[in-house]
Structure 1
Amino acid sequence: MSGARRPVGVVLVSHSAAVAEAVAELAAGLAGGGATAPVAAAGGLPDGGLGTSAELIVRAAESVDAGAGVAVLVDLGSAVLTVKALLAEGDELPLGTRLVDAPFVEGAVAAVVSASAGADLDAVESAAAEAYGYRKV
C-alpha cells in the first residue's frame, strides 16, 4: 500500500466453520464501500468438525497480517484458551496479534468497520469492546 496506512487484520474464531465464515461475510459486507480491512474466518477443526484449531487460527492470522496488528475475536471459552495459548507461545502468531474481549457478531462488525476506516489496533479493539454496550431493547 503506497502511502496508505496498513490495515489492522481481523480474525474470527468460532467452533463452527460456517459461523465464522458467515460472521466474516457479514462484517465485511457491512463495512461497505471502498477497501475493506482483511478479515479471515478460523472456524471448526481441519476435518470440518466442531471445535477450535490452533493451526487454522495461525493460518488465518498470517493471511490478514499487514504489519499493523491482528485483532482476534472468539465465540466461546475453549476458543479463548486456544488463542491465549498461542499468544503465550509467542512465536506462532504474527507480532501485534491481540485477543479482543468483545461480543462475537457485533464486535466483529465494529472491528472490521473501524479497521476498514484506517483505525489502529487500539481503536479497533476499543470499537469492538464497545459493542458490549449495544442495547437491543
Structure 2
Amino acid sequence: MTALYEATDPALCAVAPEPPVEERPAAEEKSAPGRVGVVLVSHSREVAAATAALAEALYGGGDPAPAVPAGGRPDGGVGTSAELIRRAIGEADEGAGVVLVCDMGSAVLTAKGLTGEGVRIADTPFVEGAVAAVVTASAGGDLAAVLAAAEDARTYRKVTG
C-alpha cells in the first residue's frame, strides 16, 4: 500500500520545472543519446547493489552502461520505494531509455506506476535478466534489444537432458 501511495503522491511525483529558455543548451550543444540504462528494483538494497555490481563486472568490456540499484526502502528497510526507483531512473537515463528489472510482486507493482515513454519493465528473472540487460546495453543495444535480451533470460536452461 505504501508503494502505491508513493507512486501517486503529488509531492513525490513533482517534476522540477524546466529551466528558462535562455539557460537551456542550444540544439547543437546537445549530444546524441547515450546507452540504455538499467535499474535494478529489489526488496533489498544489498541484493540490488550486488546484482548491479555483478552485471557490470560480467560485461568485462570496459565502461558498462548504467546499472543503478533501487533496492529497499529509503530508511534502509526491506521493501520497495517509488521515490528510490524514480531517482534511479533519472540516474540511469542517458537519453536512450531505461529498462527496469524487478525481483518480485510488489516491486513490479511499484515500478508500473513509473513506466512511460522510454521506461519499460522487463519480464525476466532478476539476476539473469540484469546481466543480459547490462551486457546488451553496454554493447550499444537500443531499448528494444536490451528489453528482448533481458526477457530472453527467462529461457536460459541450467540443466539439459
Aligned match for 1:43, one of 71, 84, 87: 71
- Give yes or no for contact 2:33–2:95 (8 Å, CA) kept in 1: no
1:67 counterpart residue number? 95
Q: Structure 2 stretches of 5 or more lacking a match?
A: 1-29
Paired amino acid for 2:146 = V
1:129 counterpart residue number? 151
Give me the TM-score of the superposition, normalised by structure 1. Answer: 0.90
Report the identity percentage: 63
Take 1:4 and 1:119, find their aligned partners in 2: how far apart are those partners?
A: 15
Task: Specify which structure has the bigger relative contact order, considering alpha-carbon pairs within 8 angstroms and separated by 6 or more residues.
Answer: 1
Give me the TM-score of the superposition, normalised by structure 2. Answer: 0.77
Q: Identify if the C-alpha distance between structure 1 residues 117 and 5 changes in structure 2 by more than 3 Å, giving closer, same or farther.
A: farther
1:98 counterpart residue number? 120
2:42 counterpart residue number? 14
Paired amino acid for 1:99 = I
Task: Give the length in aligned residue pairs.
Answer: 130
Instruction: Work out which of the two has the higher radius of gyration on C-alpha atoms and give 1 or 2.
Output: 2
Paired amino acid for 1:134 = Y
Take 2:32 and 2:84, find their aligned partners in 1: how far apart are those partners?
A: 29
Paired amino acid for 1:77 = G
Paired amino acid for 2:119 = T
Q: Identify if the C-alpha distance between structure 1 residues 3 and 35 changes in structure 2 by more than 3 Å, giving closer, same or farther.
A: farther
SS in 2 for 1:82: helix
